[in-house]
């Protein structure tokens, strides 16, 4: 049955608060959120005839998702066809140069390996049988070689050595881990001593890949970078002879360094890699080659600051000289790509509450906006068409086609049509107000399900994390504004000083001032929303946030203690001193607080929620994941201890198997149900009466 495909993005109407909800439609619920199909990784074939993409479906009974590959003619009106069955995880599709074969990763067989799918006969074949899992890969421009990443012990001569050593570790009855330098754990994983290295392997006549060659041999570095790096961290030159990759040499400085450099190595591994950006002590990332051999990449200027502006650099293949292409453009590029014409780059940037897509002229550096509303989550460029993955507060990502020179978006997929057609996704609006120092600050507000003129509704006041982030016109899978609106809350969020997308100076302004300007913006932003939208009932409001937002919840407890009826803090910083000594990425607190704790404790303590516990009085739900190594769960335990010892109404929800996020469907449902239960209990009218805090 052909899916119904609407011609325009869903946010065209829903950007306006006055849009009427669908008659008799049900509210959008957490159960709906966790079963949504998720579209990602669009990849146009080299001839532009086909589009492959990844679709994730959720198996609630198994409490996990599965990913499959789908094929689509990018001309509007075509019907997507499933290529793989979705019972395993198939991902990371890449085309052969002749557009007849798809290479992809699959865990069928129990290990992530390389597979190929023929569009000619539909046959699927495993082409690698390595003793280690393949983490990422790319196809060379001539289609003869694959670049791939594998986690190895750097001193091992081959993959079998790494496999044998890992097996021996697993069989050893002694369980102790021994370390002599930091990064003993990162994000949610303890170090096992391996490094993700970049290899190349030649495709044989039978289609299988040969013995991999380590082109980063001897590097004490992860390529791609952990924990979130992917194949955007490396690129083949147009002739396929060399690879350029981004890497941070580890050593003992890795936990407090953001110095990623670009290295160039021959694809056959015959000589050692050469550092191309040794002169920049800050971050160099996402190498992209143009057809003429020129190299573009993203660069930061300030070492140690992970939220510095990423601007575009360009290195001439003819002269070897590099220049800053977008030095005067006050936007930070999130993802860099190139058009096949070699004259334009593509850049996604956060911009005033949106994730926009720009074309950048290679000759002049002039940016031209192609898409300005919603969230461009991914894209793939052909000669005539750019395919984008586009989401918004009005709905999750679907795929759209855009003429290469800009024009009207045409919708290609509508994978959640049946579910969303029966739900009411309420209207939302961006607003602005005078925040700290009377500077303009932006926020979003969303109407609740069941809205009626003249009726007032309780408020969910959501504070984003980062802190250099944004609660913009994007589709989130935990802090999802439509879910809160569907439960009957008016939703307000503020992009306070420090948020991204409003110029680098605005982003910089939160560093060394965590509890200052942002709190003023939150206070003024809530007041502005209540004044502008009379259907918001400011006497019935709860505040919620995670990560830095969780810090802000703990900060509000002691510095804005009488404003809210309840608070929800998730993975929030409670004690800055122990946060510094137990987190993993030390460059973050050292930049944000102006140094190490032992050399510069003043700001750590000035903005330390633990120092204000005597003022705490608001009922709080504390949530934390035990596998969160960014903000260790002892921070959540500390906040809960403070609440309990003070006699303040409180609950603690701990997830043993979750990290800084909540990923499993069942855990996500439990998270939402407990949060809503907490809010419902305190936002009733007349108000719930909490206990009196002890002194």
Category of 90 on φ-ψ map: left (φ > 0), alpha (ψ -120 to 50) or beta: beta
For residue 65, the surrounding DSSP H or E stretch is strand 64-72
Give the CATH number of domain 420-682: 3.40.50.1820
Span 564-572, average pLDDT? 98
Q: How many CA atoms lie within 13 A of 55 on its CB side?
A: 24
Q: Report how far residue 160's alpha carbon sits from residue 108's, in angstroms, rounded to the nearest whole number.
A: 21
Query: 74 falls in which pLDDT band (50, 70, 90)?
Result: confident
Do the strands 536-546 and 490-495 form a parallel or antiparallel pair, or are they unpaired? unpaired
**What is the structure's pLDDT at 120?**
92
* Cα–Cα dist 521/440, whole Å: 10
pTM above 0.85, yes or no: yes
pLDDT in tens, 295-341: 999 999 999 999 999 999 999 999 999 999 999 999 999 999 999 99
Per-residue DSSP letters for 648-676? --EEEEEETT--SS--SHHHHHHHHHHHH
Helix (H) or strand (E) holding 8: none
Residue 369 half-sphere exposure, CB side, CA atoms within 13 Å?
Answer: 11
Residue 23 binned pLDDT confidence (cut-offs 50, 70, 90):
low
Mean pLDDT (whole number) for 497-514: 98
Q: How many CB atoms lie within 10 A of CB 253?
A: 14
What mean pLDDT comes out for the span 563-582? Answer: 98
Bridge partners (DSSP) of residue 186 are 189
**78-87, 223-232, 572-581: which range is least confident on average?**
78-87
What ranges do the domains of the chain cover?
130-168+179-248, 420-682
Q: Stretch 331-356: mean pLDDT, rounded?
A: 97
pLDDT in tens, 658-687: 999 999 999 999 999 999 999 999 998 876
Q: Which pLDDT value is given to residue 651?
A: 98
pLDDT in tens, 401-451: 999 988 899 999 999 999 999 999 999 999 999 999 999 999 999 999 999
* Residue range 533-549: mean pLDDT, rounded: 98
CA 372 from centre of chain: 19
**21 confidence band (pLDDT: 50, 70, 90):** very low
SS3 string, 508-562, reads HCCCCCCCCHHHHHHHHHHHHHHHHCCCEEEEEEEEEEECHHHHHHHHHHHHCCC
The answer to whether the CB of 462 falls within 8 A of the CB of 549 is yes
Residue 688 pLDDT level (bands cut at 50, 70, 90): low
Alpha-helical segments (H) within 593-649: 601-606, 634-646
- The average pLDDT across 179-204 equals 97
Distance (Å) of CA 223 to CA 209, 219, 233, 280, 480: 20, 9, 7, 19, 33
How far is residue 34's CA from residue 46's CA, in Å, rounded to a whole number?
34
pLDDT band at residue 18 using 50, 70 and 90 as cut-offs: very low
């Amino acid at each position: 049955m052909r899916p119904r495909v609407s011609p325009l993005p869903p946010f065209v109407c829903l950007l306006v608060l006055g849009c009427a909800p669908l008659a008799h439609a049900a509210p959008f619920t957490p159960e709906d959120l966790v079963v949504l199909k998720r579209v990602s990784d669009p990849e146009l074939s080299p001839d532009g005839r086909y589009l492959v993409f990844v679709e994730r479906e959720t198996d609630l009974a198994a409490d996990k998702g599965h990913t499959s590959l789908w094929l689509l003619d990018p001309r509007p009106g075509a019907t997507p066809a499933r290529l793989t069955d979705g019972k395993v995880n198939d991902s990371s599709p890449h085309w052969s140069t002749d557009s007849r074969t798809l290479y992809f990763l699959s865990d069928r067989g129990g290990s992530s390996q390389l597979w190929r799918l023929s569009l000619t006969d539909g046959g699927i074949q495993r082409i690698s049988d390595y003793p280690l899992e393949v983490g990422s890969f790319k196809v060379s421009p001539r289609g003869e070689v694959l670049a791939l990443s594998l986690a190895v012990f750097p001193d091992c001569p081959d993959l079998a050595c790494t496999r044998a050593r890992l097996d021996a570790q697993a069989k050893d009855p002694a369980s102790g881990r021994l370390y002599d330098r930091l990064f003993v754990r990162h994000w949610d994983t303890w170090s096992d001593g391996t490094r993700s290295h970049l290899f190349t392997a030649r495709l044989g006549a039978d289609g299988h890949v040969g013995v991999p060659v380590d082109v980063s041999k001897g590097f004490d570095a992860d390529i791609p970078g952990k924990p979130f790096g992917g194949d955007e961290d490396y690129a083949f030159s147009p002739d396929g002879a060399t690879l350029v990759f981004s890497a941070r040499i580890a050593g003992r400085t890795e936990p407090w360094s953001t110095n990623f450099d670009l290295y160039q190595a021959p694809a056959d591994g015959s000589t050692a890699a050469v550092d191309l950006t040794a002169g920049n002590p800050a971050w160099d990332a996402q190498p992209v080659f143009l057809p003429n051999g020129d190299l573009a990449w993203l660069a930061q200027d300030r070492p140690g600051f992970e939220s510095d502006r990423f601007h575009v650099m360009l290195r001439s293949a003819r002269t070897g000289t590099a220049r800053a292409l977008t030095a005067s453009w006050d936007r930070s590029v999130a993802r860099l790509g190139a058009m096949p014409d070699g004259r334009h780059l593509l850049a996604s940037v956060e911009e005033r509450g949106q994730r926009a897509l720009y074309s950048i002229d290679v000759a002049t550096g002039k940016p031209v906006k192609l898409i300005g509303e919603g969230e461009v989550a991914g894209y793939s460029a052909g000669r005539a068409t750019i395919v984008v993955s586009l989401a918004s507060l009005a709905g999750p990502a679907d795929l759209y086609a855009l003429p290469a020179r800009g024009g009207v978006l045409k919708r290609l997929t509508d994978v959640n049509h049946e579910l969303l057609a029966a739900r009411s996704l309420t209207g939302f609006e961006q607003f602005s107000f005078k925040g700290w120092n009377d500077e303009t600050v932006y926020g979003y507000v969303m109407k609740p399900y069941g809205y009626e003129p003249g009726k007032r509704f309780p408020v969910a006041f959501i504070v984003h994390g980062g802190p250099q982030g944004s609660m913009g016109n994007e589709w989130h899978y935990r802090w999802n504004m439509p879910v809160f609106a569907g439960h009957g809350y008016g939703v307000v969020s503020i992009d306070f000083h420090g948020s991204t997308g409003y110029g680098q100076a605005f982003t910089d302004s939160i560093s060394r001032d965590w509890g200052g300007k942002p709190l003023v913006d939150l206070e003024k932003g809530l007041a502005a929303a209540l004044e502008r939208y009379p259907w918001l009932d400011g006497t019935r409001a709860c505040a919620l946030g995670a990560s830095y937002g969780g810090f802000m919840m703990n900060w509000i407890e002691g510095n804005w203690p009488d404003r809210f009826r309840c608070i929800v803090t998730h993975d929030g910083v409670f004690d800055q001193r122990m946060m510094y000594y137990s987190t993993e990425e030390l460059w973050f607190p050292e930049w944000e607080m102006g140094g190490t704790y032992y050399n510069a404790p003043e700001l750590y303590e000035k903005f330390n929620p633990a120092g204000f516990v005597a003022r705490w009085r608001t009922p709080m739900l504390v949530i934390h994941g035990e596998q969160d190594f960014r903000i260790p769960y002892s921070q959540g335990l500390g906040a809960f201890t403070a609440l309990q010892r003070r006699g303040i109404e409180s609950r603690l929800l701990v997830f043993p198997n979750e990290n800084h996020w909540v990923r499993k469907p069942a855990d996500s449902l439990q998270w939402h149900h407990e949060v809503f239960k907490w809010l419902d209990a305190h936002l009733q009218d007349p108000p719930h009466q909490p206990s009196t805090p002890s002194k």
